[in-house]
Amino acid sequence: MSLALERVSKVVGGQEWIKDISLTLEPGSFNVLLGRTLAGKTTLMRLMAGLERPTSGAVIMNGVDVTGMPVRKRNLSMVYQQFINYPDQTVYENIASPLRLARLPKDVIDQRVRETAQMLHIEAHLERFPLELSGGQQQRTAMARALVKDADLILFDEPLVNLDYKLREEFREELRELFKAKHCIAVYATTEPNEALALGGHTAVLHEGELLQYGKTPDVYHRPKDILTAQMFSEPPINIVAGRVTESEVTFDESVHFKLNQDLSGLKPGNYQFGVRASHIGLVPHADDDLELTVRVDLAEISGSETFLHVRSEQFELILHLSGVHEYAVDQVVKVYFPTHKIYVFDSTGAVVHVPTRLGGR
């Protein structure tokens, strides 16, 4: 089964929610729609499902134009943020419901329900009701009902957003394994770059209804086509510093200077924007060409076993993503190390003109 969107747009109340998107999803692929709130992820999924009709463009499945075909005639399933289960039916009955609607034989229904429940580790709860389950078990039930149908297209609209961190980690791992053995197309919407990286597959980066970039997830992350994609696919957003290239050096706001190293030697003289990921800036040098910067602390934001360190100089602000707990006082002076060999460079239009060659890590 293949799915293609051909120049699809959706206008609502005079506003263009989806803007001329063309996208082809291959059979057996796992695809992530990554974008902030109101990026157009849910609307795009509803257009794929047939829950909404595009204002212009076409939706093609297996070479057939299904743009006007109602959702009930398409072989698809959808999993939402909320745990949508039938509260008056057991877990078994919930999972079996789409198969019964399809009038499959009882023995086939029973086999598929039990196999799917086992895959999602809820086989011990088949006779219980949804309200007797934990949040994670309720979401597993909703997923099982979507997976048991053996649909050509399965859509996940931020299905893990209401679960705690540990459960989300477990689900991501299980989803990757589940879809290795399936031949359907899976589409998973998320606002979180780290979730897209964890899920792998292919990622489409969306912003205000536009498709910025689509490709294999590591490729899109490491090789963004423009500054907006780099910012969307980075948590926290990639640090951007204005600067200038001369024949021999790079300067940031005419105050910070470093030699034009081998990585950046192909750049023509002129004004650029330089990007470096928060996780690549450190508190100690790791390479000979790391640039030492003296900065002041604005905030040390501790989140579990990580610290987001917000710092500033007179010319610019930076965010560091550090492993471990690091406590700093506001206005404390610290030295940080900026890896010049991991710099992205963007021109005046925002297009990428240099991608670092040493891309290890996040």
Q: Above 80 in pLDDT, residue 358? A: no
Q: How confident is the model at residue 360 (pLDDT cuts 50, 70, 90)?
A: low
Q: Which residue has the higher pLDDT, 212 or 145?
A: 212
**pLDDT of the residue at 81:** 75
Q: Above 80 in pLDDT, residue 79? A: yes
Q: How confident is the model at residue 83 (pLDDT cuts 50, 70, 90)?
A: confident
Q: What does the pLDDT look like over 188-204, one tens digit per residue?
A: 999 999 999 989 899 99
Residue 212: C-alpha distances to residues 89, 260, 360 (Å): 43, 30, 24
Which residues in the chain are classed under CATH 2.40.50.140?
A: 239-354
The mean pLDDT of 340-361, rounded to a whole number, is 87
Length of the chain: 362
With a CB cutoff of 8 Å and minimum separation 6, the contacts of 189 are 32, 33, 41, 42, 45, 155, 156, 157, 158
Of 189, 99, 91, the closest CA to residue 140 belongs to: 91
Residue 67: C-alpha distances to residues 23, 43, 53, 55, 61 (Å): 15, 14, 7, 10, 9
Q: What percent of the chain has pLDDT over 70?
A: 98
Q: Above 70 in pLDDT, residue 181? A: no
Residue type, position 339, single letter: P
Distance of alpha carbon 54 from alpha carbon 52, whole angstroms: 7
Q: Which residue has the higher pLDDT, 305 or 312?
A: 312
With a CB cutoff of 8 Å and minimum separation 6, the contacts of 264 are 245, 250, 340, 343, 345, 354
**pLDDT of the residue at 197:** 93
Which residues in the chain are classed under CATH 3.40.50.300?
A: 3-232
Q: Above 80 in pLDDT, residue 211? A: yes
Q: Is domain 239-354 given the CATH code 3.10.20.600 in the classification?
A: no
Prediction pTM value: 0.88
| Beta pairing partners, 291 | 338
Domain 3-232: assigned CATH number: 3.40.50.300
**pLDDT of the residue at 315:** 83
Q: What does the pLDDT look like over 241-275, one tens digit per residue?
A: 999 999 989 998 777 888 888 888 889 999 999 99
